[in-house]
Every structure is written in structure tokens, then in C-alpha cells.
Amino acid sequence: MAFSPPPTPHPPPFFSGKRILIGIGGGIAAYKVCEVISSLAKVGAEVRAILTDSAQEFITPLTISTLCRHPVYTDQSFWQPIHARPLHIELGEWAEVLVIAPLTANTLAKLVYGMADNLLTNTVLASTCPVLLAPAMNTDMWEQRSVQRNWQQIQTDPRFHAVGPGAGILACDRVGMGRMAEPASILPHILSLLHTQGQRDLAGKQVLISAGGTREYLDPVRFIGNPSTGKMGIALAEAATHRGAGVTLVHAPLEPRLIAELQGVRAIAVTSANEMQQALLDFFPHADWTVMAAAVADVKPASYHAEKLPKSALPETLPLEPVPDIAAKLATLKQPHQKLIGFAAQDGDIETPALEKLQRKKLDAIAANPIDQPNSGFGSDLNQAILLDRNGRKQAIEPCSKLQMAHQLFDFVLGL
């Protein structure tokens, strides 16, 4: 995923000292919250947790306090006059992001109607930070009209952000909607909320993104390709969705789990450069921003063989022909309100060829990222770049997670 602790003993500066409050509701999915808390603590965040009374039937305060490296808060501590100021006020002012997971039908109803009868709901009302909701419940409960009405209503409040639920086998053996989002989906959303402070500054925009490495086949089993994993494109899709955009992702072959973890994204699978170009041309007229993060092949075999060639029949020299220059084609169709952003994966001097590509292909901006540096480029969970735009602006992005880089790129494009 786009969110991943770095392979070093030091946490990334972004999470160091960030204040995240976790509210845990009463449901069997409470066990998943342990991984969320543990992951955040490992990357340097300050994590505090509120356990509702019903949550303590599923998970103990000792477990959560150990993972938080801090005593857990319960309703018992709420009603004890041992704090200099009211506890819900202190926690509400302290938190930069509040996560409620699992969100039960009961707590959802209280949030919709502004009720406050325990520490968690009082803290929500006493805070102004963004709130991430991760519901979890039995399918029949989730599909009740009253629950769906409350779920739709809460999302009209700009403070509240949703992650999940998903479908699958539930603890009650039912197969259907109601599974709490996995930590791999919750963690990136927390990062996004910390970066944007909950602002949906891409609301109303349609963002078209290409991702992954295209494959140009010689026969059914041999192809010309590259090591791109599509992680940067996935991160861009996540960041744009978290900021309120409608997102279409045109992707070459990727790990299925990467696509499965995306929510609210229209994903179009392609294989070759020709297929990618056609898909992008189909959706480009409706896009406000198009980000070309895919590693598209430069050439393809001049001939395709429908059956696998025996080794003895392989040509000593392989005739090649160019594939379409997709970015340049899109630039000829671009309307004044549209923005076209490219990527340039380079070694050595990354800025000069990226600037040339920006001008030659008539892009609005480009991200030049090194492929010869550690923790950067193909296959890495981290990345770094130099951002350039048509107006001469330049911004360096230091090594960070690909989701952080995606947000910085969107910040840069907003300045065009």
C-alpha cells in the first residue's frame, strides 16, 4: 500500500508527534484496531484511545494502553474528578485526527443527532478536528433503512470522513456488507487527513490517473516490460479520493490486492500501451486533471505471435516499432480548463530531461523522480522527486511515502 513504515529504524518526520485519538466501539472488529494503533505508534505518532463500555467486552484496556504506550480512557475515568480540566475538553482540543473504529449503529445514531452520553460522544462534540468513521456490523443491521439514513446524513457534515465498510464473511458467518475496513485502508486515510486537515479541496474535480508498467507481448508468454509496480499511481488515486475528487484509474497489470484496497475509485484494467491510450482517450474529455504516472513502454515487437514460439524459433534480432506517445496525444486534445501532469523516471541528472519532456509534450507540470537512489522509484514504498511546472516553478520533495508525495504533487498542481 501507499502507507508503509520505512525500512529504517527512524520514523518519518511526517508522523512524528502527530496526535491521533482512537475511539473504539463495541464490536468484534475491535481487534483490528490493535494493528492500527501499533502501526501508528511505530512511526512516531502520539496515540490516545477511548474505550466505550461495550468495547471492553471485546478488548481490554490493558491491551490498548500497552499498544498506545499511554493509559487508555474509559467512561470510568470520564466521571472521576481527577483532571485539571474536563477530560472530553482536553482530549477534543488535543486530537489532530479522531478515528472511530469500529463505528457501531448506536454510536452512529448518536453522532447524527448530536447526542453525548459517554466519553467518546462528548469528545466528538468538544473537538473540531476531522473524524474518520470505520463502521462495522452485521449485514442486516447495516442495510436497515434507519442505519443507511444515518450513514448518508453523517457524511453531509464536512467534519466526517468515511472508510468502508467492505463485503465478506462476517463474524456471524453471514456473507455480505458490514466488514470493518482493514488497517491497510484506514492508515492511509489518517495520513491524508493529517495532511489536508480534513479539507476536501478537490471536491467537484474529476481526476484521471494512469498507473503501472505496460506490457508489449511477443507471444502469449513473452513481453517487453519494466519493473513498475503501480504503487505511485495507487497513491495518487488514494490521495485524490481522500481530497474529494472523483477518480478514474487506468492501470496496467498490478497486484490484485492493490486494487482491492482502493475505495471509491473507478479502475480500468489494460495491458498494452495501445489499450492504455484508448482508455485514457475515452475518459480524458471528462477529466479536470490527468496524471500520467504509468511507465509506458517506448517500443513493442513489430509482430505478435498468437502461439508460444519454441526457443529455436526465437529471432536472433527482434524487430521493434514505437508505441503511441500517449501524453503528447492528450496534450493536443487538452482544453484550457484541463491540467496534464507527467512523470519522468530518470537516473543521473533528473531535472534537465524532465524539463525537456515538460516542454516537448506541452505538459502543465511534471514530477522527475530518480530511479538510482535508495528508497525511491520502481517497487519502493518511498519516493522523492523534483516538481516542475510550465511557469518555471520548482519544488523538491524529500524521500517520503508515495502517499505523502501524491499529496505534495496535488498541492503543487493547485498552485498552477
Q: What burial class does residue 395 get, using C-beta atoms within 10 Å of its C-beta: 0-12 exposed, 13-18 middle, 19+ buried? A: middle
Q: Which three cell numbers stand for residue 353?
A: 530531461
CB 53 within 8 Å of CB 75: yes
Note the pLDDT tens digit of each residue in 259-305: 887 888 999 999 999 999 999 999 999 999 999 999 998 899 999 99
Give the pLDDT of residue 7.
Answer: 45
CATH number, span 206-414: 3.40.50.10300
CB 293 within 8 A of CB 236: yes
Q: Which residues are catalytic?
A: 172
Does pLDDT of 170 surpass 70?
Answer: yes
Average pLDDT for the chain: 91
Instruction: Output the pLDDT for position 174.
Output: 77
Q: Is 233 exposed, middle or buried (0-12, 13-18, 19+ CB in 10 A)?
A: buried
State the pLDDT at residue 1.
Answer: 47
The pLDDT tens digits of the residues spanning 190-243 come to 999 999 999 999 999 999 999 999 999 999 999 999 989 999 999 999 999 999
**Is residue 130 scored above 50 in pLDDT?**
yes
Q: What is the pLDDT of residue 9?
A: 39
Backbone angles phi, psi at 122, to 5 degrees: -65, -40
Judge whether residue 6 has pLDDT over 50. no
Mean pLDDT of 344-373: 91
Domain ranges in the chain with CATH number 3.40.50.10300: 206-414
pLDDT > 60? residue 11: no
For 393-407, what is each residue's pLDDT tens digit? Answer: 999 999 999 999 999
Lowest mean pLDDT among 76-85, 89-98, 307-316: 76-85
How far is the C-alpha of 194 from the C-alpha of 215, rounded, in Å?
Answer: 37
pLDDT for res 82: 65
pLDDT tens across 255-272, in order?
888 888 788 899 999 999
Q: Which residues make up the CATH 3.40.50.1950 domain(s) of the chain?
A: 19-196
Q: Which CATH superfamily is domain 19-196 in?
A: Flavin prenyltransferase-like (3.40.50.1950)
CA distances from 345 to 118, 226, 365, 385 (A): 52, 12, 14, 9
Tell me the average pLDDT across 140-168: 92
Residue range 246-255, pLDDT digits in tens: 999 999 999 8
| Total-model pTM | 0.91
CA distance 21 to 65: 12
Rounded CA separation 333/347 (Å): 30
> Which segments of 2-120 are extended strands (E)?
19-24, 46-51, 73-74, 97-103
pLDDT value at position 275? Answer: 96
